[in-house]
Structure 1
């Protein structure tokens, strides 16, 4: 479960007080949220996906052009929130124009981001509602929600619920979603040569 600290603060106050210390924190509409440390299958899936995306980047000829940093913070367009995605793919040429990247690892421009991936935990509402809305408003072109353990609600995962990977693509300023389950092959606008099914991702390193 996430833990919230009730006093509202600004993004810059959050950056100074929380981003340079221990622990993992995000800012949600001015409220500091202590994020759970990824464990078990969550960590395995995140690592597996990161490896597959890097291999696909190399196959696509994007080595040295795109990168997956260890840490970064996405600042929302209204300046009230800051998120640390499980995986983010950045355009190295674009981040050169980010004034806060070199010194603070802060991303403020959608043009810098090729893909964001969130692997769902018990705080699933953040991924499906808040982050999805803020990434859409900022203009992030592609956003994945990987719900391997069916944490999300039935309106997202079906009834009965099934593990689901949702790919949100920004089209005319709004997200359109495709969902993948079981042996469905993942279709990604940014990574068209990614040759993986939903189950291969959900069962990372188990087969």
Structure 2
């Protein structure tokens, strides 16, 4: 990715200035303006809704907050904002920031995260974005490492437009739903294409295909 002389932000600065703005997250002090499109939000909403139905039907003590930030303990200037996140209600009492801010610090509180791959821009407080980017680099690489380090059981990468690099989704590029399941601290990845039924160990009764959530 290319950035134009960005001014690095601390976690505290980010929260003070952008914590309530759902289009921004922070990675290594660099502000990410996610600029969510209508199709992106429609896909994220469909996923959240289907997960909520499974939680309700299975009577899990989990919740799907409207907005939430993750503060990885090993990354001081990072605040991740997943498109969809599932939290364990029983663990929220152990979260140091939750009562004042929708911020999660402990990986044990998180059951699942989902990222919807879309276009995005790199930005800073002092310089306007100059180049349009895709966020697949973060979703397929950096966040795989961060979420595995937090021991999050499942991570979904929903690439409904086939934007990911060839090394991640193959050639030719096509819409891809990747389910990352944590095994001994490492994500084992299974990819699903249009027409495939998606399998989730966390939600074993889930009936879902990528076709069901396509809103392009």
TM-score of the two chains, using structure 1 as the length reference:
0.89
Residue of structure 1 aligned with 2:209, choices 172, 197, 200: 197
Please state if 1:133 is matched with 2:145.
yes
What are the residue-to-residue correspondences of 1:154-165 with 2, within 5 Å? 154-165=166-177
For the residues of structure 2 that align with 1:66 and 1:137, how far apart are their CA atoms?
21
For the 8 Å contact 1:5–1:32, the answer to whether it is kept is no
Q: CA deviation at 1:58?
A: 1.1
Please state if 1:69 is matched with 2:65.
yes
**What count of residue pairs does the alignment treat as equivalent?**
200
* Secondary structure of 1:8 counterpart: coil
For the residues of structure 2 that align with 1:98 and 1:59, how far apart are their CA atoms?
27
Q: CA deviation at 1:160?
A: 0.9
Q: More relative contact order in 1 or in 2 (CA 8 Å, sep 6+)?
A: 2
Residue of structure 2 aligned with 1:52, choices 50, 53, 56: 50
Deviation digits for residues 108-161 of structure 1 (CA, Å, limit 9, x no counterpart): 111101110000012211111111111111221110000000110111111111
Q: CA deviation at 1:77?
A: 2.7
Q: CA deviation at 1:6?
A: 1.3
Q: Tell me the residue number matched to 1:14.
A: 14
Gapped regions of structure 1 (runs ≥ 5): none
For the 8 Å contact 2:22–2:67, the answer to whether it is kept is no
Q: What RMSD, in angstroms, separates the aligned Cα atoms of the two structures?
A: 2.0
Deviation digits for residues 159-192 of structure 1 (CA, Å, limit 9, x no counterpart): 1112110011111011110111122111111111
Residue of structure 2 aligned with 1:147, choices 159, 172, 182: 159
Please state if 1:98 is matched with 2:95.
yes
* Secondary structure of 1:89 counterpart: strand
C-alpha distance 116-197 of structure 1, shift in aligned 2 (>3 A): same
For the 8 Å contact 2:108–2:150, the answer to whether it is kept is no
List, as ranges, runs of 4+ consecutive aligned residues in structure 1 with deviation greater than 4 Å.
Answer: 1-5
TM-score of the two chains, using structure 2 as the length reference:
0.86
For the residues of structure 2 that align with 1:192 and 1:169, how far apart are their CA atoms?
13
C-alpha distance 73-174 of structure 1, shift in aligned 2 (>3 A): same
C-alpha distance 108-23 of structure 1, shift in aligned 2 (>3 A): closer
* Secondary structure of 2:66 counterpart: coil
